A and B are shown apart, each in its own frame.
Chain A
Amino acid sequence: MGAAAEARDGTPVFVEAWQQALNEEPADADSAAEHFSAAVQQSLRRMREDTQAGVAALDGALAGLRGQATGLSEHWLTDAYHTARTGRENADAAEALQTAFHDYVQALIAYQTELSRSVEAGLEAFQTALAERKHDGAPPADLTELHALWIESAEPAYEQVLNSRAYAGAFAALHNAAMSFAGAAREYAQPLLEALGMPSRSEIDAMHRHMSDIRRERNRSRRLESEVALLRQEVEALRRELRETTGGDPATRRPQTDRH
């Protein structure tokens, strides 16, 4: 879930688009740019379609958890879940989960819109730069120059969108919604795991905290050991200094008492 748009198999959109554009064996720069632009648009369309398909599938499953889909309500897992919670609690938890999911989907769509905007801005800048070079009678002489022009023209356009308030807002909203969805899913799963006698997230967290506290204590004792060793060295250094100044060992010297 990063800022770099990815195609279906995880290849970044730009890389995939160049691959496609170059596979077309374009005759000149204009043709390459055209193929490239079409490939990027196609990748973005596919990204949106994938999102819609994923949303529809997960939404159906979530609706099932609320008892709105008949298949899932018969399932033994759902039965176990119902025994662990009252009907009211179950409905509340499922509703919270579904709401969190819908918020996440809204945030994802808003983010993808911003991402598409950044890609389209890059393409537009590239095509403008290409037209200008052609108009000036200096079109890119070879593939390397064409590619360099793409980077030089598209990057500022991409960064302008990246640095916009709208993009930052969409980015933060997406991450916040993803975390909220994870939290709601955790709340939803907890009673089911308890009902099945499986360790819940809270129990694992408690165990981890216990283990990390033990480790923390051990690390702390290492620090204290080092600090005590340092203090000893400092005391020894002071003694040496005093010996050199006074000509005797202050630790073995008898205290002087005034007997008058």
Chain B
Amino acid sequence: MTGPEARPPPLAEQVLERGHEMRTTLARAAAMLPLRPDGQAAETFMELPPARILRYPAANAGRAMAPVLIIYSMINRPYLLDLQPRRSVIRHLTQAGADVYVLDWGEPAALDRDLDMEECIGEFVRTAVSAIRAAHEGSRLNVAGICQGGTMAVCHAALHPESVQSLANFAGPVDFHTPDNTLWRLTRDLDPELLAHSPGNLPSAALNAVFVGLKPLRLLDQRYFAMPELCRDDDALADFLRMERWMYDSPNQPAAAVRTFIRDFYQRNALYKGELRIQGRSVDLRAITMPLFNAYARDDHLIPAAAAQALERRAGSNSIHSQPFPGGHLGLFVSARAHREVYPRYLEWLHSHGSRAAAMAAR
């Protein structure tokens, strides 16, 4: 046992010890590879190249809830929501009796470079909603959007409120000009039209570098310095590796989607100002009259809390649940705390506002 007067070993010894632990940790990590996401099996409900709609059937036959459509962001891959059973957004929902559908934007290829935000929202999201409703006797859907997918879900709900039983926005920005929005600052002087000259889609590595560049000390230096602490916990190390893989496993971005997202959403702030038009129709947030669950992370450096909270001021719904989360952007989706506090609350809320009976009656 070490007494209170014990001094730590000299720094050089600590460094050697750290290096030794790091080597051991890396060896353990290497032995675990390849490590796949430990999620539920999904079936492909519909191919909409380059996107696809995945289906996760309800875990029980009761199906108390109307189907849930999760609209994921184009920036990353949706397996974040089902990385492992202990912290799976999808598992929460299927076990509560919902058929879950996920709009996965797939792997945009060179021929998808003209795919813009208008087409993503006006065609892909709309098709997904119609097809899933048709497969469920016309039931309205519980629509949930993740990050950029939240913005798309908000647009769809404003354009086609008759198709949405409830809307959940998880860290989807609505006001892009809040003072603490670093991404707005960085994109303010970009010329989005120059992207038309780009050799193809925006490489995922370029986008990842921008995101890592927002927090290099946390995402690189601190993250790897702390890695040896996982050495004696295989579960924690496996979680770390799965997360690591997800963080850098991003699809290339269609040039037109990036161009229009920067121009119309970040630079013009057209959604918040009520100036956004999709397929000739104005996107009026006051048309969002269905129940709204709005979750945001207080320390989100990508989507500031205020950017997502703005939806609560603009939406026409008189049933709004505001769900702050004390943490960062990724923490809202994968942290133990979010899975203890945010998702159980969402399920409870869904039982009240997104039941199958209510969705069928309202169709």
Contact = CB atoms under 8 A, between A and B. Distances in A.
B221 A14 contact: yes
B18 A151 contact: no
Given A162-B182, A182-B199, A186-B199, A168 B189 contact: yes
Most buried by A among B19, B49, B113, B189: B189
B189 A208 contact: no
A28 B11 contact: yes
Interface magnitude class on chain B: 35 or more
B314 interface: no
A141 interface: yes
A174 to B, nearest CB: 10
A208 B110 contact: yes
A237 to B, nearest CB: 7
Interface residues of A, number: 61
Interface stretch (B65-73, B87-95, B206-214, B236-244): B206-214
Interface stretch (B25-33, B190-198, B338-346): B190-198
A129 interface: no
A230 B363 CA distance: 10
A208 B111 contact: yes
Contact of A172 (B130, B186, B214, B224): B186
Contacts of B208: 2
A66 interface: no
B182 A163 contact: yes
Contacts of B11: 26-29, 31-32, 142-143, 146
A4 B216 contact: yes
Interface of A: 1-5, 12, 14-15, 18, 22, 25-29, 31-32, 122, 141-143, 146-147, 150-151, 154-155, 158, 162-163, 168-169, 171-173, 175-176, 179-180, 182-183, 186, 201, 204, 208-209, 211-212, 215-216, 219-220, 222-223, 226-227, 229-230, 233-234, 237
Given A29-B11, A208-B113, A223-B126, 19 more contacts: A3-B212, A3-B214, A25-B15, A141-B8, A142-B14, A143-B11, A143-B18, A147-B222, A150-B217, A150-B221, A162-B182, A168-B188, A169-B189, A172-B189, A176-B190, A176-B194, A179-B194, A183-B194, A223-B131
